[in-house]
């Protein structure tokens, strides 16, 4: 885990990071004090944090909200769990986006493309992207922000053909790297499963150990979820390892959260995010 990611993970609700806690958790993760010092120095130089005090007695204060650098958006995670629970069925509609931004506005063109990919769209051919989820509002908002809304076209269809492929599952397999996404989920499942067994069978972890393993879970979860376009289950192989991995992650998080002690220091903001996002889905959220 990058040291920078660890610092971001330990930002508390009031925007501060306790340096003593940072060094302790970093040590448990195999990081050296020198790594931490250099990372903190860079973050302060970049203007992302200010520092009060020195060494383990210092307090870092985030200049801006950096929680999102570690954890996926809560609404995105929530949607994944609703899909797993069968509460977000696919309506069979594909959403297509095309744009032709001139070379003179290359930066805006690249930003729009990256936004589409971030939202789970897959390239069909030059300037044409498709997704199974309706992200039209988000794409148009970004295009408007970039000043290229006039270059964006959108269409929806229940009859998508790429070459000679028309079957929805076959299209999904051809357009998205499902095997790579599945491998990331297998790694998450292995981590969460092994740590869940250790947590339930072993002694109760200390506060530092609990925080450390929570950060590890968040990092593994992000590595798996980040590249996932969250295709509807109707388009995925069955069984899909993403569902099992997310189930194990939620079970591990619940067990880990239950080991907290009364009167402990406020948890980092990522705890609040995951507590909300991993809450069992109900009929309407």
Tens-place pLDDT, residues 110-159: 999 999 999 999 999 989 999 999 999 999 999 999 999 999 999 999 99
Model confidence at 66: pLDDT above 60: no
Contacts of 272 by beta carbon, 8 Å cutoff, 6+ apart? 13
Express as a percent the part of the chain with pLDDT over 90.
56
Judged by phi (left if over 0) then psi (alpha if -120 to 50, else beta), residue 32 lies in beta
The token duo for 254 is: 């619940």
CB 268 within 8 A of CB 11: yes
Q: Please, what's the b/e burial string for 73-100 (b: 16 or more CB within 10 A of its CB; e: otherwise)?
A: ebebbbbbbbbbeeebeeeeebbbbbbe
What pLDDT is attached to residue 261?
43
pTM: 0.78
Q: What is the mean pLDDT of residues 33-62?
A: 92
More confident of the two residues 189 and 279: 189
What pLDDT is attached to residue 5?
80
Judged by phi (left if over 0) then psi (alpha if -120 to 50, else beta), residue 211 lies in alpha
Q: What is the mean pLDDT of the chain?
A: 86
CB 225 within 8 A of CB 80: yes
């Amino acid at each position: 885990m990058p040291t920078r990611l660890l610092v971001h993970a330990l930002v508390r609700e009031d925007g501060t990071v306790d340096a003593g806690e940072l060094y302790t958790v970093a040590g448990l993760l195999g990081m050296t004090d020198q790594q931490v010092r250099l990372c903190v120095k860079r973050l302060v130089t970049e203007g992302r944090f200010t520092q009060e005090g020195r060494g383990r007695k210092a307090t870092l204060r985030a200049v801006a909200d950096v929680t999102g650098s570690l954890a996926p958006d809560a609404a995105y995670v929530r949607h994944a769990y609703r899909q797993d629970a069968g509460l977000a069925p696919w309506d069979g509609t594909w959403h297509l986006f095309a744009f032709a931004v001139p070379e003179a506005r290359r930066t805006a063109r690249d930003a729009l493309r990256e936004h589409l990919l971030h939202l789970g769209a897959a390239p069909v051919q030059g300037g044409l992207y498709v997704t199974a989820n309706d992200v039209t509002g988000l794409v148009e908002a970004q295009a408007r922000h970039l000043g290229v809304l006039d270059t964006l076209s959108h269409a929806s269809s229940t009859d998508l053909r790429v070459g000679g492929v028309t079957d929805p599952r076959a299209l999904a397999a051809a357009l998205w790297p499902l095997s790579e996404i599945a491998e990331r989920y297998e790694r998450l499942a292995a981590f969460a499963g092994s740590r869940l067994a250790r947590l339930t069978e072993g002694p109760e972890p200390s506060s530092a150990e609990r925080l450390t393993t929570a950060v590890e879970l968040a990092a593994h979860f992000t590595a798996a979820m980040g590249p996932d376009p969250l295709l509807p289950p109707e388009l995925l192989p069955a069984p899909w390892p993403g569902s099992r991995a997310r189930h194990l992650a939620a079970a591990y998080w619940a067990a880990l959260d239950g080991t907290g002690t009364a009167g402990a220091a406020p948890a980092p903001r990522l705890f609040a995010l995951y507590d909300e996002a991993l809450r069992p889905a109900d009929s309407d959220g």
